[in-house]
Structure 1
Amino acid sequence: MEIKLDPRTKIYMIFVVSAIVLMSATTPFLWGLRILTTMVPIALLIAEKRYASALRFFALYISALILTFYFLSSESTGLIRALLTGYCGIIAQFLPAFITAWYVIHSTKIDEFMAAMQKMHVPDGITISLAVVMRFFPTIKEEYGSIRDAMKMRGISLAGGNAAKMVEYRMIPLLFSCVNIGDELSAAAITRGLGGEVKRTSVVELKLHVFDWILILLFSIATVIFVLNKYILL
């Protein structure tokens, strides 16, 4: 079942998940609430038929949680254990916000995002910057894939023992591509009149539907419960 969410709902999800992530979970109940909020964007990825991405995020998040709890409950000590505990803890702490942002970027069209920001009366400077960022990372991913394929055709890979050349021949072109892509996206935004003084019109008609209100209500309740249990109901 395909679920079409309003971009404003998605932006609200990012803020809520990021806020919950920044507030550390100190009890099993708070951990459970955080896990439930993380499962929502993963379920939305499944609804978008991005099964591979949803499975990777789910496996990575659950593995990080299990390893974090295991290392924290273990009585063994050592440098490696401390490093693994910190690494898994960082993944378990910040991955929910990354999953939500990844879902929003890959499921939101730029024209829908621009219309949503305009409805929320966000300044054009912020809107244009965010729109460029949303297109920047997917474009960089495509550019890296092209560079990787070109290097494979030339026989430059880790398997060939040319690790130094692989880094040199991939990272340097990618850095130049980042600069060029940023300039091109900024020029494209200005060409479309995003920086003009006249109010921009849009063919996209946004409206909050029932599922949008349900998600907004659920995330609002989750935030209130999290704050109450952590800071008030001590």
Structure 2
Amino acid sequence: MTVTIEKKKQFIRFDPRTKIILLVLSMIVATTTPSLLYECVLILLIAGFGSVCGKVRYSLIGSAVFMALYLSTVFYLENSTGTMHTMFTAWLSLVFKVYPGGMLAGIAVSTTRVNEFLSAMNKAHISRKIIIPLAVMLRYIPTIREDWRYIKDAMRLRDVSPSIIGLFTHPGMTVECLYSPLLMAASKAADELAIASVTRGIENPKPRTCLIQIRFRIQDVLIILCFLAVPVASLCC
């Protein structure tokens, strides 16, 4: 039943290796483009990729936040001078270099299943010393997110707010009731995931099998070419 729901949510399935290639290309574009307009195009491509993968709400929110940052940056830089102008420009340059990769990484992690990732990495002949930590990380992030939701729901019954305002108004209670249980749950989840991975044979040296065919398709080639067009355009123009 779970597999059926995931197939309905994800409109087009991409190879996990394609997502890694797109992540590398987005990092290159974010660090080498001479203008923020190219990053705007990159964000639109990432939003389109996320929408096709089934993350429509996530893509819309990510694009809206980036556009708000972009417009506020343009407005502030045109109406400011001095030391604050330099500090704000340096901080925003770091944000704009990290934001596309973070947005795309969130889409890749949430739409990639562990068995697909392991099969794709084995086909790419990647070392197990790299595959195993990444596979555990893919399962670790959703587990911590789920524990965080449970902790927030439980603490709301005690009138402990998980917001930033609650952290400033009642810092001791917030740390004790929210962040301390989260750290304990994170440590416990890491141990359980490591044991479960070993039990399921993640260290088995034989080639893995997967019910889903892991291979490059026409949609993988097209999306890579679309992302590759951004750095090429920035070099030519």
Q: In 2, distance between residues paired with 1:166 and 1:75?
A: 38
Q: In 2, distance between residues paired with 1:183 and 1:125?
A: 18
Please point out which of 153, 168, 181 is paired with 2:176.
168
Q: Does 1:183 align with 2:191?
A: yes
Name the aligned partner's letter for residue 228 of structure 2.
S
Name the aligned partner's letter for residue 28 of structure 2.
A
Please point out which of 20, 27, 32 is paired with 2:29.
20
Distance 1:218-1:46 versus aligned 2 partners, 3 A rule: closer
Q: Count residues with an aligned counterpart.
A: 224
Shift of 1:139: 1.3
TM-score normalised to structure 2 length: 0.84
Distance 1:140-1:194 versus aligned 2 partners, 3 A rule: same
Q: Does 1:64 align with 2:69?
A: yes
Aligned to 2:103: 99
SS in 2 for 1:203: coil
Q: Does 1:197 align with 2:205?
A: yes
Distance 1:58-1:162 versus aligned 2 partners, 3 A rule: same
1:90-129 aligned within 5 A: 90-129=94-133
Shift of 1:87: 4.2
Name the aligned partner's letter for residue 20 of structure 1.
V
Name the aligned partner's letter for residue 172 of structure 1.
S
Contact kept, 8 Å, 1:105 with 1:134, in 2: the verdict is yes
Aligned to 2:231: 223
1:74-89 aligned within 5 A: 74-77=79-82, 79=84, 84-89=88-93
Distance 1:84-1:52 versus aligned 2 partners, 3 A rule: farther
Contact kept, 8 Å, 1:64 with 1:89, in 2: the verdict is no
Give ranges in structure 2 of 5+ residues lacking alignment: 1-9
TM-score normalised to structure 1 length: 0.85
Please give the per-residue CA displacement for 1:113-157, whole angstroms capped at 9, x wherever unaligned.
111111111111211111111111121111111111111112222
Aligned to 2:4: none
Please give the per-residue CA displacement for 1:35-57, whole angstroms capped at 9, x wherever unaligned.
21221221222234433322221
Contact kept, 8 Å, 2:43 with 2:63, in 1: the verdict is no
Q: Does 1:211 align with 2:216?
A: no
Name the aligned partner's letter for residue 17 of structure 2.
R
Contact kept, 8 Å, 1:7 with 1:116, in 2: the verdict is yes
Contact kept, 8 Å, 2:43 with 2:100, in 1: the verdict is yes
Shift of 1:217: 1.9
- Which segment drifts farther, 45-54 or 211-220? 45-54
Name the aligned partner's letter for residue 131 of structure 2.
T
Contact kept, 8 Å, 1:61 with 1:91, in 2: the verdict is no
Contact kept, 8 Å, 2:155 with 2:177, in 1: the verdict is yes
